């Protein structure tokens, strides 16, 4: 695992170097990226771990600029800088550079001489031995390029919801007002807001499929049309994402939307229920099994209704008890983004955030929040700019001075206190007492045994001032599984200590996940849905955390930061129940 992750980062840096080279950038800058790539490729320690512990700049050759890029890449799986560099060179070149070993010069050569603009075309050309006709490419090299190009095309990574959903919404936004489009929705796992997405599927209701096909395949964001039929088409976007569209007759739209939203196991259970009722359910509608008479299908609601079920939000459709609950009219009333009254996990320039306290507060107010907690890192996270005891007091004075300016909005002075490897919190009692809200996190010692980690979390939860346990497993989706921890025991203890547990809304964390969020609710633990924003732009991640909460059946009453300010304050001030 380690080798792959470090290799990904090294390849990303090589990609930057290649693009800079094509642009004729400074040879020193290019060399710096190559040197950093070489170092990281040969390291044995996991780069994600080093990043989590804020030690990237300890790697020789990695300065603030490269370290910020690595961090962005590890967090989101993408790098904005790389995308924008890619746009400054000939179309297709950036994609070709993803093939390791091809290199800038050869990429330019095959692009210019053979008109190759994608990895797929490169594979084709190598198979047809068109590459070794070019100067400087021998047969051995051609074989190597083919091997590496195939490896790139076979790297089928699932997309983060935080990448797939905005892409789907962009397409929906661009087509919604088209005269041929009656309705348009993302379907599949995007509609169910799963943490990762396989395919981006969009459904359209229309009587004029031809016009929809034309509009979709000529969208300005379509870089390549992969397929175009009479009712289905696929494009590759500028951001290299495949988006599939399917046009449905308006009278069948409800049944199609239900069918293509899934999940598979929810649909199987639903079809079995239909059969028991003498009905037949398919993507084309709901039919009487004997007479084949069509009973419904224009809307999803009528399908669920005819089956005797309450309509249920797509997030619940995983066959985890939602059908039984809908039959008995006891579906949860899921928490919504508008129920969230504040964000309890925000970073500023005081530690590793990129904006000021004022900017973060103003962004929170703009979202309609009533309160927000500034929770910068604690002192032992030196490289992440953790606050010394003196800085905590300074920051407290600053925040007190700002309260009047933003009233009635309330700024809570908090801290993301590191749980040290020995289980102690990172500040002494006197400093901890200064905060309005103490939240605790594990940021290091990921390799410890489960017993050790359990012990650390348990002693942090038992601390009378702890109010929230952040990102409880430490996972980064697709990059690291997190530390070993007995979550069941952690949640039981959190329930006893009346401590909330975070659903961290960063798209690559979503930690707790949906399954554990539901378990937390069952055990009576409050959830805290936080953006963990490191800049004002991150406050919008809240929607992904809310999605996880909804998939975990959480209601407004189960969420700490859905409490009105006065009730939140009395909870924060109350002393803990005995352990």
The residue ranges of DSSP E strands in 355-453, in sequence order, are: 371-377, 410-418, 437-441
Min dist. Cβ of residue 150 to Zn ion (A): 38
Min dist. Cβ of residue 214 to Zn ion (A): 46
In the complex with Zn ion, the residue whose CB is nearer, 348 or 441, is 441
Residue 518 Cα distances to 191, 320, 523, angstroms: 19, 11, 9
In the complex with Zn ion, the residue whose CB is nearer, 148 or 416, is 416
Binding pattern for the stretch 398-437 against Zn ion, x by CB under 5 A and - elsewhere: ------------------x---------------------
Determine if 348 is a binding residue for Zn ion (CB under 5 A).
Answer: no
In the complex with Zn ion, the residue whose CB is nearer, 21 or 532, is 532
Number of residues that bind Zn ion (CB under 5 A): 3
Q: 405-437 in b/e burial notation, b at 16+ Cβ within 10 A?
A: eeeebbbbbbbbbbbbeebebbbeeebbeebbb
**286 contacts: CB under 8 Å, gap ≥ 6:** 255, 274, 279, 280, 294, 295, 296, 297, 302, 303, 306, 307
Min dist. Cβ of residue 415 to Zn ion (A): 10
CA dihedral 67, 542, 482, 161 (to 10 degrees): -90
The first and second tokens of residue 323, run together, are: 């059908």
In the complex with Zn ion, the residue whose CB is nearer, 18 or 416, is 416
Determine if 441 is a binding residue for Zn ion (CB under 5 A).
Answer: yes
The first and second tokens of residue 28, run together, are: 């020193």
Parallel/antiparallel/unpaired status of strands 500-504 and 466-469: parallel
Return phi, psi of residue 541, to 5°: -65, -15
CB 109 within 8 A of CB 103: no
Binding pattern for the stretch 93-112 against Zn ion, x by CB under 5 A and - elsewhere: --------------------
The first and second tokens of residue 55, run together, are: 């030690």
How many C-alpha atoms does 392 have within 13 Å on its Cβ side? 25
In the complex with Zn ion, the residue whose CB is nearer, 317 or 345, is 345
In the complex with Zn ion, the residue whose CB is nearer, 53 or 416, is 416
Closest CA to 159 of 49, 68, 266, 240: 240
Task: Say how many C-beta atoms besides its own lie within 10 A of residue 70's C-beta.
Answer: 23
Closest CA to 395 of 336, 465, 353, 348: 348
Cα angle value 254/258/259 (rounded, 5°): 115
In the complex with Zn ion, the residue whose CB is nearer, 142 or 376, is 376
With CB under 5 A as the contact rule, which of the stretches 49-57, 262-270, 311-319, 440-448 interacts with Zn ion? 440-448
Distance CA 557, CA 567 (A): 12
Min dist. Cβ of residue 476 to Zn ion (A): 11
In the complex with Zn ion, the residue whose CB is nearer, 416 or 558, is 416
Min dist. Cβ of residue 50 to Zn ion (A): 15
Determine if 51 is a binding residue for Zn ion (CB under 5 A).
Answer: no
Q: How far apart are the first and last CA of the chain?
A: 39
In the complex with Zn ion, the residue whose CB is nearer, 21 or 416, is 416
Min dist. Cβ of residue 400 to Zn ion (A): 23
Distance CA 221, CA 199 (A): 17
Min dist. Cβ of residue 69 to Zn ion (A): 20
What secondary structure does DSSP assign to 444-455, as a single string? S-TTS-HHHHHH
In the complex with Zn ion, the residue whose CB is nearer, 253 or 516, is 516
Closest CA to 204 of 222, 223, 217: 217
In the complex with Zn ion, the residue whose CB is nearer, 441 or 561, is 441
Binding residue for Zn ion, selected from 532, 536, 541, 552, defined by CB under 5 A: 532
The residue ranges of DSSP E strands in 74-197, in sequence order, are: 159-160, 183-186, 196-197
With CB under 5 A as the contact rule, which of the stretches 43-51, 57-65, 321-329, 531-539 interacts with Zn ion? 531-539
With CB under 5 A as the contact rule, which of the stretches 151-159, 282-290, 512-520, 532-540 interacts with Zn ion? 532-540
With CB under 5 A as the contact rule, which of the stretches 74-82, 159-167, 286-294, 525-533 interacts with Zn ion? 525-533
Min dist. Cβ of residue 20 to Zn ion (A): 32
In the complex with Zn ion, the residue whose CB is nearer, 508 or 532, is 532
In the complex with Zn ion, the residue whose CB is nearer, 18 or 532, is 532
Min dist. Cβ of residue 386 to Zn ion (A): 11
Tell me the β-bridge partners of 228. Answer: 233
Distance CA 206, CA 225 (A): 21
In the complex with Zn ion, the residue whose CB is nearer, 148 or 532, is 532
Min dist. Cβ of residue 53 to Zn ion (A): 11
Parallel/antiparallel/unpaired status of strands 200-205 and 183-186: antiparallel
With CB under 5 A as the contact rule, which of the stretches 303-311, 398-406, 473-481, 530-538 interacts with Zn ion? 530-538
Tell me the β-bridge partners of 244. Answer: 201, 234
Distance CA 437, CA 105 (A): 55
Distance CA 215, CA 233 (A): 11
In the complex with Zn ion, the residue whose CB is nearer, 244 or 532, is 532
Cα angle value 166/315/482 (rounded, 5°): 75
Min dist. Cβ of residue 441 to Zn ion (A): 4
Task: Enumerate binding residues for Zn ion (CB under 5 A).
Answer: 416, 441, 532
């Amino acid at each position: 695992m380690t080798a792959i992750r470090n290799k990904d980062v090294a390849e990303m840096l090589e990609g930057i170097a290649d693009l800079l080279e094509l642009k004729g950038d400074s040879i020193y800058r290019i060399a710096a990226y190559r040197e950093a790539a070489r170092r990281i490729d040969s390291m044995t320690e996991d780069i994600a771990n080093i990043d989590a512990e804020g030690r990237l700049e300890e790697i020789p050759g990695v300065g603030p600029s490269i370290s910020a890029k690595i961090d962005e890449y590890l967090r989101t799986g993408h790098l904005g800088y790389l995308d924008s560099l890619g746009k400054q060179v000939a179309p297709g070149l950036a994609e070709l550079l993803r093939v390791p070993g091809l290199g800038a010069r050869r990429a330019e050569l095959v692009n210019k001489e053979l008109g190759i603009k994608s990895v797929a075309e490169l594979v084709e050309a190598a198979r047809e031995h068109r590459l070794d006709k070019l100067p400087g490419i021998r047969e051995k090299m051609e074989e190597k390029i083919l091997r590496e190009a195939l490896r790139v095309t076979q790297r089928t990574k699932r997309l983060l919801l935080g990448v797939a959903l905005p892409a789907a919404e962009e397409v929906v936004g661009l087509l919604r007002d088209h005269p041929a489009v009656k309705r348009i929705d993302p379907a599949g796992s995007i509609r169910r807001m799963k943490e990762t997405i396989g395919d981006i599927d969009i459904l359209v209701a229309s009587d004029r499929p031809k016009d929809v096909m034309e509009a979709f395949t000529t969208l300005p964001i379509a870089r390549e049309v992969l397929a175009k039929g009479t009712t289905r088409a696929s494009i590759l976007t500028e951001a290299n994402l495949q988006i599939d569209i399917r046009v449905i007759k308006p009278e069948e739209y409800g049944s199609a939307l239900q069918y293509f939203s899934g999940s598979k196991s929810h649909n199987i259970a639903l079809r079995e229920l239909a059969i028991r009722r003498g009905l037949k359910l398919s993507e084309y509608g709901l039919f009487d099994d004997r007479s084949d008479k069509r009973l419904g299908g224009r809307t999803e609601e009528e399908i669920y209704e005819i089956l005797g079920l309450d309509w249920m939000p797509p997030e619940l459709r995983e066959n985890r008890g939602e059908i039984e609950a809908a039959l008995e009219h006891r579906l949860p009333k899921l928490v919504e983004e508008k129920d969230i009254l504040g964000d309890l996990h925000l970073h500023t320039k005081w530690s590793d955030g990129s904006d000021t306290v004022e900017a973060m507060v103003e962004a929170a107010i703009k979202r309609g929040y009533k309160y927000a907690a500034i929770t910068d890192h604690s002192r032992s996270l030196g490289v992440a700019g953790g606050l010394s005891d003196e800085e905590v007091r300074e920051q407290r004075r600053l925040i007190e001075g700002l309260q009047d300016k933003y009233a009635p909005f309330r700024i809570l002075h908090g801290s993301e206190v590191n749980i040290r490897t020995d289980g102690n919190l990172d500040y002494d009692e006197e400093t901890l007492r200064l905060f309005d809200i103490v939240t605790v996190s594990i940021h290091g010692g990921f390799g410890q045994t489960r017993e050790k980690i359990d012990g650390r979390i348990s002693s942090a939860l038992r601390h009378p001032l702890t109010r929230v346990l952040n990102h409880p497993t430490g996972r980064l989706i697709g990059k690291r599984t997190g530390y070993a921890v007995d979550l069941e025991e952690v949640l039981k203890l959190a329930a006893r200590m009346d401590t909330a547990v975070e659903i961290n809304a960063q798209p690559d964390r979503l930690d707790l996940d949906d399954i554990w969020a539901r378990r937390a609710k069952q055990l009576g633990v409050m959830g805290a849905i936080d953006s963990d924003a490191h800049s004002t732009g991150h406050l919008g991640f809240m929607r992904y955390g809310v999605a996880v909460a909804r998939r975990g059946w959480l209601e407004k009453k189960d969420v700490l930061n859905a409490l009105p300010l006065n009730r939140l304050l009395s909870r924060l001030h109350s002393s803990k129940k005995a352990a």
